[in-house]
Amino acid sequence: MSRTAGEAPDRLAGLPRTALLLAVLGSLFVTLPLAGLLLEVPWPRLPRLLTSSSSLAALWLSLRTSLAATALCVLLGVPLALTLARARLPGVRILRTLVLLPLVLPPVVSGFALLSTLGRTGLLGGRLEAAGFSLAFSTTAVILAQAFVAMPFLVLSLEGAARTAGNRYETVAATLGARPHTVLIRVTLPLLLPALGTGTALAFARCLGEFGATLTFAGSLQGVTRTLPLEIYLQRETDPAAALALSVLLLAVAAVIVLLTYRRRS
């Protein structure tokens, strides 16, 4: 097909047709199961299912813990990502590998890892117990488990972007008289805001969907540690329809997060 000057720009952006076909396959691969799920949902029963006390308790708990865990990820993950990307200290490369390990671990294994450190008989857990801080079966334990599995997502997003961006702007800012603290807040972070947004959204989504680590480390009790995924797993036993309804709820929350954070900046 020939294009004459003045026609609309190429919608395919120069991609070969086969790439486009594979892209279609890829999107079907992801969207068809979701569509299948939505078809199975008992829509008429949805309002009652979603407003039951156990469902609301699970949703509220999930939101609270995911927000807290994401905040923890940001607080620790941003400095960590920047250090990994820019500091020239010995051991940085090993540290980077270690930090990304939770990505690879099955969540239950992450749960075991947390138990062995912070559990009652664990490395630090025993001392914490003695000092009066009981982590076992608590909401705090849920937050820690979620943060543990979600942090690599934040660090990964941010570190790549920080490395690419380099630190030329930071050098300029320093010569203009800005102290390191000022440089971080007024130059580094604003420039990394898109990557930070993506990383935070990913981390939050991961927190929301976390199951194995929280169950292993924190247990499952309504209102305290039974997050939405755990509630879904439990409902499966007796009321698969309720499980589906709650799954839709989880999907909806996830969709909202993604929509809010993946807006294109013009």
Partner 1 sequence: MTRAVRPEAGRETAARPAAPPALVQALALVTVIAACSAEPAEPDRQELTVFVAASLADVAEQVSEQTGLDVTISAAGSSDLVSQVVSGAPADVLVTADEATMARAEEEGVVEEPRPVAVNHPALVVPAGNPAGITGLDDSLHDARLVICAPQVPCGAAAHELANLAGVDLQPVSEEPDVTDVLGSVTSGQADAGVVYDSDVLRGGADLERVEVPEASEVTNIYPAALVAGTDHDEAAEAWLDALTGRSGREALADAGFGVP
Partner 2 sequence: MTTADSPTADEAPPGSTTTGDDAAPLRTPPADGAPAARVRASVAGRAVDVDIAVPAGQVVALLGANGAGKSTVLGLAAGTVRPTAGTVEIGGRTVAGPRWVPPHGRHVALLAQDPLLFPHLDVTANVAFGLRATGLRRGEAARRAREMLEIVGAAHLVDRRPGELSGGQAQRVALARALAPDPAVVLLDEPLSALDVAAAAETRQVLRRVLRDAGRSTVLVTHDLLDVLAVADSAVVLEGGRVTEQGPALEVLERPRSAFAANLAGVNLVTGTLGADGESVHAAGGLVLHGLPDPGCMPGTPAAASFSPRAVSVHAEPPGGSPRTVARARVVSLERQAELVRVRAATEGGLELAADITPSAVAALDLAPGIDVALVVKAAEVRISPA
| Binding-site ranges for partner 1 (CB under 8 A) | 17-18, 21-22, 25, 115, 119-121, 136-137, 215-216, 218-222, 224-226, 230, 233-238, 240
Q: How far is the CB of 84 from partner 2 (least distance, A)?
A: 21
Q: Which of partner 1, partner 2, none interacts with 171 (beta carbon under 5 to 8 A by kind)? A: partner 2
Nearer of residues 48 and 186 to partner 2, judged by Cβ: 186
Indicate which single residue of 40, 123, 171, 260 sits in contact with partner 2 (rule: CB under 8 A): 171
Q: Which of partner 1, partner 2, none interacts with 157 (beta carbon under 5 to 8 A by kind)? A: none
Q: How far apart are CA 150 and CA 156, in angstroms?
A: 10
Indicate which single residue of 44, 90, 91, 177 sits in contact with partner 2 (rule: CB under 8 A): 177
Q: How far is the CB of 210 from partner 1 (least distance, A)?
A: 15
Indicate which single residue of 27, 31, 134, 182 sits in contact with partner 2 (rule: CB under 8 A): 182
Nearest alpha-carbon partner for 224 in 90, 54, 78, 37: 54
Q: Which of partner 1, partner 2, none interacts with 196 (beta carbon under 5 to 8 A by kind)? A: none
Q: How far is the CB of 37 from partner 1 (least distance, A)?
A: 14
Q: Which of partner 1, partner 2, none interacts with 121 (beta carbon under 5 to 8 A by kind)? A: partner 1
Size of site (CB under 8 A) for partner 2: 19
Q: How far apart are CA 167 and CA 43, in angstroms?
A: 53
Q: How far is the CB of 187 from partner 2 (least distance, A)?
A: 6
DSSP output for the chain: ----TTSPP-TTTT--HHHHHHHHHHHHHHHHHHHHHHHHS-GGGHHHHHTSHHHHHHHHHHHHHHHHHHHHHHHHHHHHHHHHHH---TTHHHHHHHHHHHHHS-HHHHHHHHHHHHSTTSTTHHHHHHTT---TTSHHHHHHHHHHHHHHHHHHHHHHHHHHH-SHHHHHHHHTT--HHHHIIIIIHHHTHHHHHHHHHHHHHHHHH--HHHHHHH---TTTT--HHHHHHHHHHH-HHHHHHHHHHHHHHHHHHHHHH-PPP-
Indicate which single residue of 12, 34, 101, 172 sits in contact with partner 2 (rule: CB under 8 A): 172
Q: How far is the CB of 185 from partner 2 (least distance, A)?
A: 10
Nearer of residues 85 and 136 to partner 1, judged by Cβ: 136
Residues of the shown chain interacting with partner 2 in the complex, contacts defined by CB under 8 A: 168-169, 171-180, 182-183, 186-187, 190-191, 193
